[in-house]
Amino acid sequence: MNHNTPLSPRPLHHLADGGRRVLTTAQLRTHGVSAAQATEQCRPGGPWQQLLPGVVLLHPGPPTGEERLHAVLMYAARERTVGVPVQPGADAPPAPPYGEAMITGLAALALHGFSCAPPLSSLDTLDVLVPRLRRLRSAGCARIVRAPDLPTPVRVPVPRALDPVHAEDATVPVAPVTRALADAVAGLKDADTVRLLLTEAVRGGHCEPAAVVRELTRARLLNRPHVVDAVDSLLAEGRAMAESRLYRMVRDHGLPDPVWNVDLRLPGGPHLGGLDAYWPEQAVALELDTRAPRPGGRPADDAQWSEYARKRELLEHLGITVVHITPRGLRDAMEQQATVVRTALMASADRDPAAYVVVLPR
DSSP assignment of 163-188 equals -SS----SEEEE--HHHHHHHHHHT-
79 pLDDT above the threshold of 70: no
Cβ neighbours for 308, distance < 8 A, ≥ 6 positions apart: 287, 289, 291, 324
- Percent of the chain whose predicted confidence (pLDDT) is above 90: 39
Bridge partner list, 359 = 264
> What is the pTM for the complete model shown?
0.72
* Alpha carbons 242 and 290: distance in angstroms, whole number: 9
- Virtual CA dihedral for 35, 36, 38, 43, nearest 10 degrees? 140
Average pLDDT, stretch 267-296?
Answer: 82
What's the confidence (pLDDT) of residue 258? 96
What's the mean pLDDT when you consider all of the chain? Answer: 82
Residue 7's pLDDT band (cuts 50, 70, 90): very low
Average pLDDT, stretch 181-192?
Answer: 93
- Show contacts of 248-257: CB within 8 Å, 24+ apart: 248/334, 249/330, 249/334, 249/337, 249/338, 249/341, 250/277, 250/338, 252/334, 253/334, 253/335, 253/338, 253/342, 255/338, 255/341, 255/342, 255/345, 256/345
Q: What is the largest CA-CA distance in the chain?
A: 104
- Percent of the chain whose predicted confidence (pLDDT) is above 70: 82
Average pLDDT, stretch 47-57?
Answer: 85
Cβ neighbours for 48, distance < 8 A, ≥ 6 positions apart: 16, 38, 41, 42, 56, 57, 58, 59, 60
What's the confidence (pLDDT) of residue 4? 44
What value, to the nearest 5°, has the Cα angle with vertex 253 and ends 251 and 255?
Answer: 70
Instruction: Let me know: does 287 contact 324? Beta carbons within 8 Å.
Output: yes
Render pLDDT for 80-137 as a digit per residue (tens, 0 to 9).
443 434 444 444 444 446 888 999 999 999 999 999 999 888 899 999 999 888 888 8
